Amino acid sequence: MAESASEFLERWKHSYIARESCTLEQVDTTVKECLDDAAEARISASDLEAAAGGDLRGYLLAALKQARGE
């Protein structure tokens, strides 16, 4: 069974943000990497955006801030 966009996003967020030392200034690069990884997993950008509540950049920015304790 294929992974859903929301399952992918949660897994990706936890593994990527935990292992990478991303800064808030790198959020656009983080979004691109997420989209690239999703494409490899055959998850469309629109499905991923929907899984993020319509704002993938904001979703990942919030995750980065949370990981930094902000």
pLDDT of 37-55, one tens digit each? 999 999 999 999 999 999 9
Task: Name the token pair of 43.
Answer: 């998850």
Q: On the CB side of 66, how many CA atoms lie within 13 Å of its CA?
A: 10
Note the helical H segments in 1-70.
Answer: 5-19, 27-40, 45-51, 56-67
19-30 pLDDT tens trace: 666 777 788 988
Kindly report each contact of residues 20-23 with a partner whose C-beta sits within 8 Å and lies 24 or more positions away, as own/partner: 22/64, 23/64
| pTM greater than 0.75 (yes/no) | yes
